[in-house]
Chain A
Amino acid sequence: MAQLIQGNTGEWEIVIGMEVHAQVTVQSKLFSGASTEFGASPNSQVSLVDAAMPGMLPVLNEKCVEQAVRTGLGLNAKINTYSVFERKNYFYPDLPQGYQISQFLHPIVGTGEIEIDLPDGSVKTIGITRLHLEQDAGKSLHDQHPSKSFVDLNRSGCALMEIVSEPDIRGAEEAAAYLSKLRMILQYLGTCNGNMEEGSMRADVNVSVRKPGDELGTRCEIKNVNSVKAVQMAIDYESRRQVEIIEDGGSIKQETRLWDPNKGETRSMRSKEEAHDYRYFPDPDLLPLEFEQSWVDEIKQTLPELPDEKKHRFMQSYGLGTYDASVLIAARARADYFESVANDRDAKMAANWVINELLGVLNKNGKELEDSPISAEQLGGLIDLIADDTISGKIAKDVFADMFETGKDPAAIVEEKGLKQVTDTGAIEAIVDEVIAENPDNVEQYRSGKDKLFGFFVGQVMKKSQGKANPAVVNDLLKKKLS
C-alpha cells in the first residue's frame, strides 16, 4: 500500500531509504575503556584515546563485534568474517581526531532483510543493504552562549551500528513501520536500547519522488529526525516540497537537509556540501578484523526468539489474530507476561485481559508493564475464577479494578467483598419469579412477540442479585419461565 501524493500533473510515488544509527549496548567504548553510560557530567567519560591525544592507539572492543554480528544475524543478513576499519576524514569541533573510524568498502555485515507490519495487516519485506561499526562523535551545545559552542566528548568514541536499508520504503507509514520493527528487533536482541529521546537510535532519511514506474529521482538526505513521528512528518513535508519544485519546472538538487521539529520543515545545510569529500582510507592503526564462521554459528545458537517468529507462534499455538499477536510481541516483557497469564488457560481470554484491560489501565495511569501492580500470576488467578464460574466476567472487571488499586490477590478480594457468583438455581429462581411478578405489562408484551424485552428481564435479575447471579443460569430460567 504505497502512499502516493496527488500533484497537479498526476500521482507521485515516494521512495525512501533509511540510515539508522544505533548505539551498541556495551559497557565501554568501541576503541577505549571509557564508560558509555548516558547522562554523566561533561567530559567525565573521556579517555585520552577519545580525546585524540597524540600517540594514543585504538584497541577494538570485542563485545562490540559480537553485538554487531548478533544484530546482523537478527536482520537475516550475511556476516562478513573479514572487515576493515577506515578513516572518514572531516573537521568538526566534536570530532577531535579529525576523522571518524568507520567501515566503508568492507562492512562487518552485508545484505539482509526484515519484515515490516503495515496498519492494514499486510506484511512487506524491506532489504537491508549493510551494517557497519563506527565511532560516534561528541556533542555540541549551541544555545549556552551567544558566540560560543560548548563541546562534551562523553559520546565521542561510543560504538554505533549504522544500518542502511535499500530504497524499498514507500511513504511515511512504511518508514514508521520499518523504524518500529528495527527498534523492536534490536531490543529483543539486546544490542541497542532503542531509546530515541536519549539519542541511542537516530535516523537519517533519504527521500526522492518519481512518477510510478519511472527511474529513481534525485534524493535528499534528511538529518536530525529523532522520533518515529518526526520521521513521518519530515517525509510528508519533504516529498511535497520535491513534488512542488518538479511540477514548477525545477529540479531537485542532491543535498543534505536538516529537519527542524519546531518549524515542521526541512532546510538545506549548505556548509555540508563542500565538506562531502571524506577521503576514506584504511586506518593504519588497525588491522583488518577477522573471525571464524564457527564463532558466528555459536552466537547464532544464543539468539532469542525474534519478534516475527514469536508473532507467528502466538498466532499458531494460541490461535490469536494478527492484531492481538502484534500488540503482545511489541515488547519482550509484554510477550513474557502474556505467556505466563496464558499458561494452561484460555489464551484468547488471556490476550483480552492483557491487551484490553491491563495495558489499557496502565496506559491511562502512565505506567509501564514493569510497574504493574498486578502480577501475571494474579491476572491468571482472576481468569481462573471466571473459568470455574466463581465470578462472572462482569464482576471480574470490578475485582480487576480493585487488584490494580490494592495489589491484592483476586481470590482474597472476592472473599472479602462477598462477590462469589450465585449458581444455586433455587436462589436465582426466586429472584426470577419476583421480577416476573413485578412486571406483568412487560411479560405480556414479551409473550406477544417483543423479543427485545428479554434483555430487560436479565438486567432486572442481575440488578437484584447485585450482579452475582450466574448469567447462564439466569438466561435458562428466564427463557423457561417466560415462554
Chain B
Amino acid sequence: MSLDKDTVRKVASLARIKMSDEELDKYGPQLNNIIGFVEQLAEVDTDNVEPLPSPVDIALRLREDVVNDGGCAEDVLANAPEEMEDFYVVPKVVE
C-alpha cells in the first residue's frame, strides 16, 4: 500500500495539521516508508489467531461509582488561552 499526495493531504487535514505542497512532497514519502515497514507484519500468517490486547494477562481494572474528583475549575482552566466566568472561550464554531 502506498499513499498518494491527496491521501496524505487528507490524513494531515483529519489530524488538523496544516501542510503546504512542499511539505506534502517531503512528508508523503516518509509516511510511505513507515507504512512499508509496518506492512512487513502482514507477511506473518495470523489466521485463527485472536488479537492480543495486552502482552500481560491482566483484567481491566474498574472503579467504584463514587464522586472523588472535580471541583477544580481553576486548575482545569489554568492553561486556557481565554476564559470567562469559568467557561473556556474559543473562536465561534457554530455554522
> Hey, which bits of chain A sit against chain B, CB under 8 A?
26-28, 32-35, 41-51, 59-65, 84, 89, 91-93, 140-142, 144-153, 269-271, 274-275, 277, 279, 282, 286-290
Asked if residues B53 and A289 are in contact (CB atoms below 8 Å), the reply is no
Secondary structure of the B contact surface, majority rule: loop
A44 to B91, Cβ gap below 8 A? Answer: no
Q: Which residues of B contact A41 (CB under 8 A)?
A: 73, 86
Judge whether B93 and A46 touch: CB under 8 Å. no
Chain B's nearest CB lies how many Å from the CB of A35? 5
Q: Assess the B73–A46 pair: CB atoms within 8 A.
A: yes
Nearest-Cβ distance from residue B27 to partner chain A, whole angstroms = 18
Inter-chain contact A28/B67, CB cutoff 8 Å: yes
* Interface contact B70-A34, CB-CB below 8 Å: yes
Q: Which residues of A contact B44 (CB under 8 A)?
A: none
Residues 4-62 (chain B) with a chain A CB within 8 angstroms: 10, 13-14, 16, 53-54, 58-62
Establish whether residues B60 and A290, one from each chain, have CB atoms under 8 Å apart when the complex forms.
yes
Question: Do B70 and A44 touch (CB < 8 A)?
Answer: yes
Judging by beta carbons under 8 Å apart, are A149 and B66 in contact?
no
- 28 residue pairs bridging A and B, Cβ less than 8 Å apart: A32-B70, A34-B67, A35-B67, A41-B73, A42-B86, A42-B87, A46-B76, A47-B72, A50-B70, A59-B61, A61-B64, A63-B64, A63-B65, A84-B53, A93-B90, A142-B93, A145-B92, A148-B82, A148-B91, A149-B92, A149-B94, A151-B90, A152-B88, A269-B95, A282-B53, A286-B60, A287-B53, A287-B58
Q: Which 4 A-B pairs have the closest CB atoms?
A: A34-B70, A63-B65, A33-B69, A47-B69
List B contacts of A63 (CB < 8 A): 64-65
Contact A59 B62 (CB under 8 A): yes
CB proximity of B62 to chain A, nearest CB, Å: 4
Complexed CA–CA distance, A162 and B73 (Å): 29
Give every chain B residue within 8 A of A46 (Cβ-Cβ). 70, 72-73, 76
In the complex, A360→B90 CA distance in Å? 49
B87 touches A44 (CB 8 A): no
In the complex, A148→B89 CA distance in Å? 6
B69, A147: Cβ atoms closer than 8 Å: no
Alpha-carbon gap, A89 to B87, bound state (A): 24
Q: In the complex, which residue of chain A has the Cβ closest to the Cβ of B13?
A: A274
Interface core residue of B60, B68, B85, B94 (most chain A CB under 10 Å): B60
Tell whether, in the assembled complex, residue B92 and residue A35 are in contact, meaning their CB atoms are under 8 Å apart. Answer: no
The reply to whether A287 and B59 contact each other, CB–CB distance below 8 Å, is yes
Q: B14 — which chain A residues lie within 8 A by C-beta? A: 89, 275, 277, 279
Of the residues B54, B58, B75, B94, contact of A48 by C-beta under 8 Å: B75
Least distance between A190 CB and chain B CB atoms (Å):
13
Taking A93-B88, A153-B88, A277-B14 as contacts, is the C-beta distance between A43 and B63 under 8 angstroms?
no
Q: A93-B93, A150-B84 are in contact. Are A287 and B66 (CB under 8 A)?
A: no
**When the two chains form the complex, which single residue of B10, B67, B73, B95 contacts A33, counting CB atoms closer than 8 Å?**
B67
Assess whether A27 is in contact with B67, with CB atoms less than 8 Å apart: yes
How far, in angstroms, from A227 to B91 measured CA to CA in the complex?
A: 30
A49, B69: Cβ atoms closer than 8 Å? yes
How many angstroms from the CA of A148 to the CA of B85 in the assembled complex? 14
Chain B min CB distance to A103 (Å): 13
Cβ contact within 8 Å between B90 and A148: yes
B89 CB → nearest A CB, Å: 5
Q: Using Cβ atoms and an 8 Å threshold, which residues of chain B touch A279?
A: 14
Contacts of A147 in B (CB 8 A): 91-92
Contact B62 A44 (CB under 8 A): no
**A60 engages B62 (CB within 8 Å):** yes
Closest to B51 in A: A282
**Distance (Å) between the CB of A81 and the closest chain B CB?**
12
Q: How far is the CA of A144 from the CA of B86 in the complex (A)?
A: 14
Q: Is the CB of B58 within 8 A of A35?
A: no
Residues of chain B within 8 A of A43, CB atoms compared:
73, 76-77, 86-88
Complex: how many Å from CA A8 to CA B86?
55
* Distance, CA A146 to CA B91, complexed state (A): 10
Nearest Cβ distance between residue B80 and chain A, in whole angstroms?
9
Query: Which A residues are CB-close (under 8 A) to B71?
Result: 44-45
CB closest residue in chain A, given B87 = A150
Q: Which residues of A lie under 8 Å from residue B62 when comparing CB positions? A: 59-62, 65
Quick one: which of A50, A149, A269 contacts B90, CB cutoff 8 A? Answer: A149
- Chain B contacts of A62 at CB under 8 A? 62-65
Contact between B59 and A150, CB atoms less than 8 A apart: no
Tell me the complex Cα distance, A289–B62, Å: 9
A34 to B90: give the CA distance in the assembly, Å. Answer: 23
> With a CB–CB cut-off of 8 A, which chain A residues contact B82?
148
Contact across chains for B95 and A45 when beta carbons are under 8 A apart: no
| Pair B73/A44 contact, Cβ less than 8 Å | yes
A150–B87 Cα distance when bound, in Å, is 6
